C-alpha cells in the first residue's frame, strides 16, 4: 500500500479553481450515477473519448463534435467511486500549489490543456480502439508533472503499508511516473481491450512538465 495523504507544502493563496474542479467532478459523478441504466450508458459513451472516432471523423463518418468534444467532457467523468476518489485525492494534494504558481485563470487553462494533450496521446497509441476512456487522471498527471518540477524537495506524507512516512516529491512522483511508463511500454503492440489509459498519464505528466518549464523561463 502506497497512498499519499497530504503534502507538507502550504499554499500561499486560496485554491478556488482547484476546489471548483473537484466539486464539478463530484457533481458530474453524482449526476452520472443518478441516471437509469440505458441513460447512464448513453451518457458515458457520448462523453467519453473513443479513439476510433478520430479516424472515423477523417473518413467522414462522424462529426467533429462527436470525435473531439469528448476530449474535454471525458475529463469530468469517472467509472466508479474509487476511480473518482483516487483522482480527487491526487488533485487535492498537488493542485493547490500548482495553482499558486500559475495563478487562478492560467491554472485552469493549464489543467484543460494537459487533459486534452493527455487524451490525444492516448488516442495516438490506441487509434482504432473502441473502448471509451474517461477520467480526470490525464489532466491531474499534468498537475503532478508541474509539481515535481516546482517542488521536488517538498514532502508527501505517504501511507506505506500502515505507516505514514514523509516522502520527497521527486521520489514519490518519480516512482509513480516510472511505473506508468513501464506499464505503457507493456501495452505497445497489444490489442487494447480496457483498463487504465496509461499513455494519457504519461502524456499529461510530460506535458505538465513542458508547460511549467516554459512558464518558469525568464520573461
What CATH number is given to the structural domain containing 19? Answer: 1.20.1540.10
- Rounded CA-CA distance 84/89 in Å is 8
37, 39, 42, 44: CA torsion to nearest 10: -80
What's the confidence (pLDDT) of residue 185? 87
Q: Is the pLDDT of residue 33 over 70?
A: yes
Is 44 inside any structural domain? yes
Number of folded domains in the chain? Answer: 1
Kindly tell me if the per-residue pLDDT of 119 is higher than 70. Answer: yes
Q: How far apart are CA 198 and CA 180, in angstroms?
A: 6
3-16 tens-digit pLDDT: 999 999 999 999 99
Residue 181 lies in a domain: no
46: pLDDT strictly greater than 70: yes
pLDDT at residue 218 greater than cutoff 80? no
Q: Is 174 within the bounds of a domain?
A: no
Asked if residue 32 belongs to a domain, the reply is yes
Helices (H), the chain: 16-32, 37-47, 53-58, 64-68, 70-73, 81-102, 104-125, 137-150, 169-187, 198-216
| DSSP-based three-state secondary structure for 49 | strand
- If you ran DSSP here, which 8-state letter would residue 2 be given? E
Residue numbers of the domain that contains 74: 11-153+196-216
Amino acid at each position: 500500500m502506497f497512498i499519499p495523504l497530504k503534502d507538507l507544502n502550504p499554499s500561499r493563496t486560496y485554491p478556488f479553481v482547484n476546489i471548483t474542479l473537484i466539486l464539478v467532478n463530484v457533481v458530474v459523478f453524482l449526476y452520472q450515477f443518478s441516471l437509469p441504466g440505458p441513460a447512464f450508458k448513453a451518457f458515458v459513451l457520448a462523453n467519453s473519448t473513443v479513439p476510433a472516432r478520430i479516424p472515423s471523423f477523417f473518413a467522414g463518418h462522424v462529426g467533429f463534435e462527436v470525435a473531439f468534444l469528448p476530449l474535454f467532457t471525458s475529463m469530468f467523468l469517472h467509472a466508479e467511486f474509487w476511480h473518482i476518489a483516487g483522482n480527487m485525492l491526487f488533485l487535492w494534494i498537488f493542485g493547490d500549489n500548482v495553482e499558486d504558481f500559475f495563478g487562478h485563470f492560467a491554472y485552469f487553462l493549464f489543467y484543460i490543456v494537459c487533459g486534452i494533450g493527455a487524451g490525444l496521446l492516448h488516442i495516438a497509441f490506441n487509434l482504432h480502439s473502441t473502448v471509451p476512456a474517461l477520467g480526470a487522471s490525464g489532466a491531474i498527471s499534468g498537475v503532478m508533472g508541474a509539481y515535481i518540477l516546482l517542488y521536488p524537495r517538498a514532502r508527501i506524507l505517504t501511507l506505506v503499508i500502515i505507516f505514514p512516512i514523509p516522502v520527497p516529491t521527486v521520489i514519490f512522483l518519480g516512482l509513480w511516473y516510472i511505473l506508468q511508463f513501464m506499464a505503457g511500454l507493456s501495452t505497445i503492440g497489444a490489442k487494447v481491450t480496457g483498463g487504465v489509459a496509461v499513455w494519457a498519464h504519461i502524456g499529461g505528466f510530460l506535458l505538465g512538465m513542458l508547460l511549467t518549464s516554459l512558464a518558469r523561463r525568464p520573461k
